Amino acid sequence: MKRTSTIYICQSCGAETSQFFGRCPSCGEWNSIIEEAISPSGLKARKGRSTLSKISSGSRSETISSIKDTPIDRIKSGYIEFDRVLGGGLVPGSLVLIGGDPGIGKSTLLLQTATEIALNNSVLYITAEESASQVQLRWHRLNKVESNLHILAETDLELILDELEKLNPEVAIIDSIQALHDATISSTPGSITQVRECAAALQQVSKKKNIALLIVGHVTKEGMLAGPKVLEHLVDAVMTFEGDRFASHRLLRAVKNRFGATNELGVFEMQSTGLVEVTNPSELFLSSEETSGVATIVACEGTRPLAIDIQALINQTTYASPRRTVTGIGSNRLHQILAVLEKHINLALSRFDCYLAVAGGLEVDEPAADLGIAAAIVSSFKNLKIPKNTVLLGEIGLGGQLRTVGQIPLRLKEAEKLGFKQAVVPSSTGIDKENNELTLEIFEASTISEAIQIIL
């Protein structure tokens, strides 16, 4: 007789318990535990697919240098921006999870990528959320010409696995993992057990048949990838597709990547005919006029330098305690810089409101932006403009000293490419001011007050 057992699973961390808790004993999340019924015999029944994936055939150990060197032949996605984030292209047999808010453009990105890859490779696009004709409608909207891209509109895991085995494509796309359903498990699609089991089964087929799998994952309202952390551990790369719903640019980031660097950034723009690559994104984040309170920095996203405007507005306060509002920068950083400016440049900022924003809705969390933030604040306070053709780089210490930051040559090269003429950098960068390949004029400062004197 088939016995069905009940377990309680935290939908946040995936912890299993034998009884119900209001708060997960493992991760501390409230109201995240739900009851799920699993039938163990049903699990095993799935055509003898073992739950352990076999990556290598032999079970003997060998020395690291004697392992046969197999060069990875990466599959190009057809988009330079996507390839860079992947680390140079898709690795056969790898699993890539792409997360993002609803409506951000995940399906559009993957349909476009699938069509491009289908020019040279066999691709199967599995749509579990839309019908095949809906996908075709979108595909027409993207102005695509004839293609031999295969489409399968299916949610049943068993049928999907069968089609993957039969068609044996080089690349497969699953849109989305939360919509898949394993009939041997009684819990609803999207629940942690379903997601975990579906992902594990897909991983086995992917490794066995050497299929590169691109999997779409939903994001919860807290911005986390829905489903258990185990999903993130299972896959080879996790990317997030993000952007402002009100702005047209979209950012693709690698959060985890076994085959490339993390924090790489790809920039796209959503247009009426789909996503278009933005090869020179710095232009997107720079304003054209020269006004007080605006400073330009060069941030580094992975290996990619990005010139970005920082805007500050300083106003006399009408409140008992002044307002400090930041967008795109941590508020602790702002408070720290305000304190340094108050102490070392004698600005009476405690009687002023301070609003700070990064242009284009970007997030900047690196210390290299400190000097730019400080200069934008002083510029707004004194109502003096920072020359438009100047970039500012450097971390500010609590003692008011200017510290060097990483990748200065790369950042200066980007600034030069964009037409900047001057740069203010910390004096400890080790850059030779006279003998370098740059045409930028470099000014060095060892403290924040020295730097402000140079800039304003």
Closest CB to ligand TYD among residues 94, 115: 115
Tell me how far CA of residue 350 lies from CA of 288, 316, 376, in angstroms: 31, 9, 17
> Is 104 known as a binding-site position?
yes
Q: Is 356 within 8 Å of 373 (Cβ atoms)?
A: yes
Q: Which stretch binds Mg ion (CB under 5 A): 100-108, 156-164, 193-201, 267-275?
A: 100-108
Choose among 94, 109, 292, 83: nearest CA to 210: 94
Q: Is 217 in the site for ligand TYD (CB under 6 A)?
A: no
140 interacts with ligand TYD by CB under 6 A = no
206 in a known ligand binding site:
no
Say if residue 166 carries a ligand binding annotation. Answer: no
**Site stretch for Mg ion (CB under 5 A), options 68-76, 101-109, 177-185, 425-433:** 101-109
CB of residue 275 to Mg ion, shortest distance in Å: 13
Name which position in 23, 44, 141, 229 contacts ligand TYD (CB under 6 A). 141
Q: Three-class SS of residue 48?
A: coil
In the set 272, 318, 321, 346, which binds ligand TYD (CB under 6 A)? 272
Applying CB under 6 A, the span of 29-37, 155-163, 272-280, 339-347 interacting with ligand TYD comes to 272-280
Q: What binding mask, one character per residue, do residues 182-211 give for ligand TYD by CB under 6 A, x or -?
A: ------------------------------
Tell me how far apart the alpha carbons of residues 414 and 444 are, in angstroms, rounded to a whole number: 18
Q: Taking the CA atoms of the chain, what radius of gyration do you get in angstroms?
A: 26
* By CB under 6 A, residue 49 contacts ligand TYD: no
CA angle 52, 58, 59 (to 5 degrees): 70
Q: How far apart are CA 389 and CA 392, in angstroms?
A: 10
Closest-CA residue to 372 (of 433, 328, 410, 316):
328
Per-residue three-class SS string for 330-364: CHHHHHHHHHHHHHHCCCCHHHEEEEEEEHHHCCC
Query: Of 107, 127, 401, 427, which lies in the binding site for Mg ion, with binding defined by CB under 5 A?
Result: 107
From edge to edge, which strands make up the β-sheet containing 171-175?
Answer: 150-153, 123-127, 171-175, 212-218, 95-100, 237-243, 249-257, 265-271, 274-277
Nearer to Mg ion, 47 or 221 (CB): 221
Cis peptide before 176 (omega within 30 of 0): yes
305 appears as a binding residue in the annotation:
no
Stretch that binds ligand TYD, among 49-57, 95-103, 165-173, 343-351 (CB under 6 A): 95-103
Among residues 231, 236, 288, 239, the alpha carbon closest in space to that of 266 is found at: 239
Partner whose footprint covers residue 261, from ligand TYD, Mg ion, none (CB < 5 to 8 Å by kind)? none
Q: Does 379 count as an annotated binding residue?
A: no
Stretch that binds ligand TYD, among 2-10, 97-105, 113-121, 283-291 (CB under 6 A): 97-105
Q: Report the residue from 49, 138, 413, 421 that binds ligand TYD according to the rule CB under 6 A.
A: 138
Task: Name the binding residues for ATP.
Answer: 100-107
Which residues would be at the binding site for Mg ion (CB under 5 A)? 107
Which residues would be at the binding site for ligand TYD (CB under 6 A)? 100, 102-108, 138, 141-142, 270, 272-274
